Structure 1
């Protein structure tokens, strides 16, 4: 068979498969619109996890992201009869999810929670290297859930790889943006939607989309919190180099060896504890914090390895020498640069243990 004929036949087969796919989705959509719950689940199921990741990017909270994803799917079910197919099902779902996230951000209700407890913690900690103007409303996202996102490459408009767009540095940076700018930046630069699609999702003109995107990108670059690690020099996930750093951190932390921990840090390493607006920067500042707070005399921990936001992480458990039970003490996420640790982010909410599939407690060895 001539090459041209083979290519033509191959294209025809591919085209036929695509037509069958469209027809199948059309049939599923019709059944779902007729009230078939199984058809609805088949229609929206492939998008559920990526919608949760999208809500997480927008809100910075895995718990809020799950709630908003559930609300999105419920709204989709209720509004399915009015779906006219002018956009894809995926784009339509993103429109519902994005606007619900924007409503949540504008309401600001979640930002007022736990403020009293946060202020109590802030008052007893040593003076930081610097303070942020606002709390950092951020939780870590388990890599195990990120792995469930379909391998759907972002569109050509995307500026960031999927894992870079859920890195802690990126999420902290976009939290400084107004809600609308944040939405435009995530939809365009993280997901790769075209300007016309973002216009449809947000219900604004393409001129407004492009204007918001310019302002968002400028704000992102100006934000001093945007100190993305050098991804080219960071060790590969699961590599021997990464394992050496992780093992060194685990041993030093569990034995309370502050000097060994400081030796693992870069000179300008940063320690943060969201939502507290406190930053401890540099080996000396972090060493003093560890010695006077986290690893002061009488305190020790056991760590259980996991991964979050594409980075090495741990569930921390505090030892109580009067009991064989070790109690949960939050999640620690490391940002690596070369053979050193450039960032330590400590999340103190013990509810996060469940999200990472970590045990609620440990028994002392």
Structure 2
């Protein structure tokens, strides 16, 4: 059988006779969506990459078990979900606590753009896809125990029927429905109160202007100007560095204690991460004769104020497709970070 799109569709037959190159060609077209699924489960871009590789390896070794009774896509999701649960059992037997997720990593929008498109006539599906990749959602998910986490993502994000989730987990439909209710309650404890109106599609002009002012003030290290843009209950974290700062005063005091106000030679490059506005910061190094990566700020904006800031270290720049350095010459870029 050739590696065509009929493989894995009802009536398309099994995979037992497919050679390895043909098999790879069939499963590779699902890589990005499986990677995003694993990322939601794990909160780590790199762990998600490892798990997708493990998924494809398990799928190849067990290819004779696929007989076309379900789609190839659903079969791969089953394997990927179990691979995530196995990884969580080995590495993170306990979920996140106290709002902190030290293993959290950002997901670049340029890779999210590779996902299969959702039709314009499906606004609810578009909203779900966007909201469930934002960092606040990913953080909230990490506070759930692994199995309820899987139930929530399979049911509420992927839209799987309860009976299919029960079959995947080797559980009853009643148990799955109970786990879903517990998971939803747990999410409400960790998601922002204004979540119902925190997105709404593309950034509007007011949000873009706020991000521009924030990044300009950051490059200028103008703490009073930055403070004026923060909501009273703003949250700020810098995974994997421990520490979650809640409230404008706590965030500003942390910036002051870290010596941010005295920093010089900053430039910023605007970008987008997890469907949120972000800015990558660079600092001038005389010895290198260039601006080198410093940090990246990912912002959540609601009600005309900045409500959350996730700051990631320079080691994330390559994964995000950001330049390794900026030359001395060239126009100033707008952006901002701590």
Contact 2:140 2:187 in 1 (8 A): yes
| Aligned counterpart for 1:208 among listed residues 138, 161, 175 | 175
Residue aligning to 1:361: 325
How far, CA to CA, are the matches of 1:230 and 1:205 in structure 2? 31
Q: Secondary structure at the match of 1:307?
A: strand
Q: Secondary structure at the match of 1:183?
A: helix
1:237 Cα deviation after fit? 2.8
Residue aligning to 1:182: 149
Residue aligning to 1:128: none
| Aligned counterpart for 1:63 among listed residues 46, 50, 70 | 46
How far, CA to CA, are the matches of 1:170 and 1:62 in structure 2? 15
Residue aligning to 1:290: 255
The alignment's C-alpha RMSD in Å is 3.1
Residue aligning to 1:248: 213
Q: Secondary structure at the match of 1:330?
A: strand
How far, CA to CA, are the matches of 2:63 and 2:311 in structure 1? 42
Contact 2:154 2:160 in 1 (8 A): yes
Residue aligning to 2:158: 191
| Aligned counterpart for 2:230 among listed residues 256, 262, 265 | 265
How far, CA to CA, are the matches of 1:210 and 1:159 in structure 2? 24
1:239–1:320 CA distance, 2 compared to 1 (3 A): same
1:331 Cα deviation after fit? 2.1
Contact 1:29 1:43 in 2 (8 A): no
Residue aligning to 1:3: none
How far, CA to CA, are the matches of 2:113 and 2:245 in structure 1? 32
1:246–1:345 CA distance, 2 compared to 1 (3 A): same
1:132 Cα deviation after fit? 2.9
Contact 1:320 1:326 in 2 (8 A): yes
1:177 Cα deviation after fit? 0.9
1:290–1:101 CA distance, 2 compared to 1 (3 A): same
Residue aligning to 2:65: 82
Q: Secondary structure at the match of 2:251?
A: helix
Report how many residues are paired.
322
Q: Per-residue CA shift, 1:1-23, capped at 9, x if unaligned?
A: xxxxxxxxxxxxxxxxxxx9868
Residue aligning to 2:336: none
1:294 Cα deviation after fit? 5.6
1:204–1:138 CA distance, 2 compared to 1 (3 A): same
Residue aligning to 1:96: 79
| TM-score of the two chains, using structure 2 as the length reference | 0.84
Give the number of the structure whose alpha-carbon radius of gyration is greater: 1
Instruction: Give unpaired runs (5+ residues) of structure 2.
Output: 330-338
1:186 Cα deviation after fit? 0.8
Residue aligning to 1:151: 117
How far, CA to CA, are the matches of 1:183 and 1:23 in structure 2? 26
Moved runs in structure 1, 4+ residues, more than 6 A? Answer: 157-160
Q: Per-residue CA shift, 1:199-234, capped at 9, x if unaligned?
A: 12222221221121122122222x3x3215545365
Contact 1:68 1:101 in 2 (8 A): yes
Q: Secondary structure at the match of 2:58?
A: helix
Residue aligning to 2:334: none
Instruction: Give unpaired runs (5+ residues) of structure 1.
Output: 1-19, 112-130
